[in-house]
Structure 1
Amino acid sequence: MIDVEVAFALPDQQKIMALQVPCGTTVYDAAVMSGIVEHFDGLQLAGTPMGIFGKAVKNPQVEKIMQGQRVEIYRPLTIDPKVARANRAAKAAAKAAAKAQLKA
Structure 2
Amino acid sequence: MAEQIHVQVCYAGATAQWLRDLTVAAGTTLGQAIAASGLLLEAPEIDLAAMPVGIFSKKKTLDTVLREHDRVEIYRPLIADPKHARRRRKVATA
With normalisation by structure 1, the TM-score equals 0.78
* Conserved 8 A contact 1:26-1:65: yes
Q: 2:11 aligns with which of 8, 27, 39?
A: 8
* Conserved 8 A contact 2:53-2:74: yes
Gaps of 5+ in 2: none
Q: Tell me which amino acid in the other structure corresponds to 1:22.
A: A
The structure that has the greater radius of gyration is 1
Shift of residue 87, structure 1, vs aligned partner: 0.8
Aligned-partner Cα distance in 1 for 2:50–2:68 = 24
Aligned residues: 91
Aligned-partner Cα distance in 2 for 1:33–1:45 = 14
Gaps of 5+ in 1: 94-104
Q: Tell me which amino acid in the other structure corresponds to 2:45.
A: G
Q: 2:21 aligns with which of 18, 21, 43?
A: 18
Shift of residue 88, structure 1, vs aligned partner: 1.0
Aligned-partner Cα distance in 2 for 1:11–1:42 = 10
Aligned-partner Cα distance in 1 for 2:31–2:79 = 23
Shift of residue 42, structure 1, vs aligned partner: 1.9
* Conserved 8 A contact 1:31-1:45: no
Q: 1:74 and 2:68 equivalent?
A: no
RMSD: 1.4
Identity of aligned residues (%): 38
Q: Which portions of structure 1, spanning 4 or more consecutive aligned residues, are displaced by more than 4 angstroms?
A: none
With normalisation by structure 2, the TM-score equals 0.85
Aligned-partner Cα distance in 2 for 1:28–1:88 = 37
